[in-house]
Amino acid sequence: MTDLFAPLQSLKQGDWFKLICGASFQHLPAVRSLTLAYTLAGADCIDVAADPAVIAAAQAGLQAAKSLAMDAQKRGFDYKGNSPFLMVSLNDGEDPHFRKAEFNPTECPTDCPRPCERICPAQAIVFNSTKEDFSGVISEKCYGCGRCLPVCPYEIIYTSSCISTPGAIAPLVISTGVDAVEIHTQVGRLAEFEQLWQAISPWADQLKLLAISCPDGEGMTDYLRALYDLIAPLKGALIWQTDGRPMSGDIGNGTTLAAVKLGQKVLTAKLPGYVQLAGGTNSYTVAKLKAMGLLKKAGEQGAGGRGEELFPLLPAKCPPSSISGVAYGSYARVLLSPILEQLENKEVSNTDVKATVRLEEDELLLWQAVKLAHSLVSQIKSQQER
């Protein structure tokens, strides 16, 4: 199995792991470090914002991982230099994944207890930061979870949204060398989805994978069938990402229930393609899937149907009977945040320019990060080790 096909093999086996860096997360050092750590831990896909600088940061992380493959194996990690797919996320309209929090810090009363600062999982809200020389929302760190909005006692925090420009998408996909695209959509946006798809479709055959992410809603399965009719036939694989409770996995174990419930609903619809959970996924997700018998057991055949072994890039022809994988976003990022924070606070001076230390330059922090990442990746990968 070549590097090219290794992630698709994971989809077929039912042990696919995707890291979601965040569709609007643009903190380049963190994207690079997260990509590096989770690649060495065995991730199959790295999903990043459709921003050339972010894509370049992720690609740098992938390259750094390749150079550390032998070290990873010596330390007991399974990474063999296989590159995970690099995916970019796009949207066909308003979506909570594509927004940023904003507020004017001069409007904040001096006696405010600043609950927004404490609740922000990305540490994107700061006041009188010595390092940043700034107060307010650090835009590149904010990924739009919205937790700061309801806790502001003065209701002065708002969000600004970013909607993809369809005409700009295709050149982005073709010029950066990404392997996959994920489209975030919602029930009732067929016309908007079609417009975005028309911009992508001339280059769709170059993609190894297309993912469609959709939250629950009335008529959801009929909507997904309409989307399939619109995009079929596909040369690459197709994933239905069930967005149970967006950006909530780090809140508590109970958030995973929405993701599992929505995954069951899409499985029942028997759509061609693979079903992958997201939205509320965390350390409890795989255990829940196992308990409910929703993960494929080692040795079971994939859903791809006849010809898949010869042409592993072809999408699944038959409906899946089990969940093929899990995507982790906020939980996966918060899991490594203590290490990334330590790294961010370590700076090296090069003449008058200061730069954050790269993760691979601090061996202790690097392998601590990989060990933490592996503790999450291995939960689903152990399915095929029995």
Quick check: 102 pLDDT over 70? yes
pLDDT digits (tens, 9 = 90+) for 240-252: 999 999 889 889 8
| pTM for this model (two decimals) | 0.91
User: What is the model's pLDDT at position 177?
Assistant: 86
Q: pLDDT at position 309, please?
A: 39
pLDDT in tens, 103-151: 999 999 989 999 999 999 999 999 986 555 688 999 899 988 999 999 9
Band of residue 78 on the pLDDT scale cut at 50, 70, 90: confident
pLDDT confidence of residue 71: 96
Q: Give how far the C-alpha of residue 271 lies from the chain's centroid of Cα atoms, to the nearest Å.
A: 22
φ, ψ (nearest 5 deg) of residue 87: -120, 145
Mean pLDDT of the chain: 88
Read off the pLDDT band of 298 (50, 70, 90). low
Banded pLDDT at 353 (limits 50, 70, 90): low
The mean pLDDT value for 255-269 works out to 95
The pLDDT score that the predictor gives to residue 311 is 37
Which long-range contacts does 131-140 make (Cβ < 8 Å, 24+ apart)? Answer: 131/345, 135/105, 136/102, 136/103, 136/104, 136/105, 137/100, 137/101, 137/102, 137/103, 138/27, 139/26, 139/100, 140/25, 140/26, 140/27, 140/28
pLDDT, residue 203, reads: 87
